[in-house]
């Protein structure tokens, strides 16, 4: 990268394996990259370093699968009708 800062060069050297890896920084970068996957590579690396790897907290998505399975197992044999009243 032409004119890249020393920090950018160090990060890229870590990715290439030419210097020892900082596992924490690598993990943080992968999470950052997952949230900014549509950015150009150079912008991604520079923004990661500028923003110090700040990532947005991903909200927990609640899954109702187990609730429904538990309900069906505990209900009577006429599960279809019971499920209609549940939903």
If asked whether residues 11 and 45 sit together in one domain, one would say yes
Model confidence pLDDT, tens digit, residues 50-62? 877 666 666 667 7
Residue 81 lies in a domain: yes
3-state SS track over 5-58: CHHHHHHHHHHHCCCCCCHHHHHHHHHHHHHCCCCCHHHHHHHHHHCCCCCCCC
- Specify the pLDDT at position 56: 66
| Whole-angstrom distance, CA of residue 47 vs CA of residue 53 | 8
Residue 72 lies in a domain: yes
The domain of 64 spans: 59-87
Residue 26 lies in a domain: yes
Residue 65 lies in a domain: yes
Q: 1 or 64, which is more confident?
A: 64
- Report the number of distinct structural domains present in the chain: 2
Q: What percent of the chain has pLDDT over 90?
A: 0
If asked whether residues 43 and 63 sit together in one domain, one would say no
Model confidence pLDDT, tens digit, residues 4-25? 677 778 877 888 877 777 788 8
If asked whether residues 11 and 44 sit together in one domain, one would say yes
Residue 1 lies in a domain: no
């Amino acid at each position: 990268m032409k004119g890249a800062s020393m920090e950018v060069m160090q990060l890229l050297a870590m990715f290439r394996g030419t210097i020892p890896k900082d596992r924490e920084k690598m993990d943080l970068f992968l999470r950052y990259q997952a949230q900014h996957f549509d950015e150009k590579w150079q912008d991604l690396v520079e923004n990661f370093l500028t923003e110090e790897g700040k990532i947005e907290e991903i909200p927990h998505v609640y899954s109702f699968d187990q609730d429904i399975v538990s309900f069906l197992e505990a209900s009577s044999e006429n599960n279809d009708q019971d499920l209609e009243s549940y939903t």
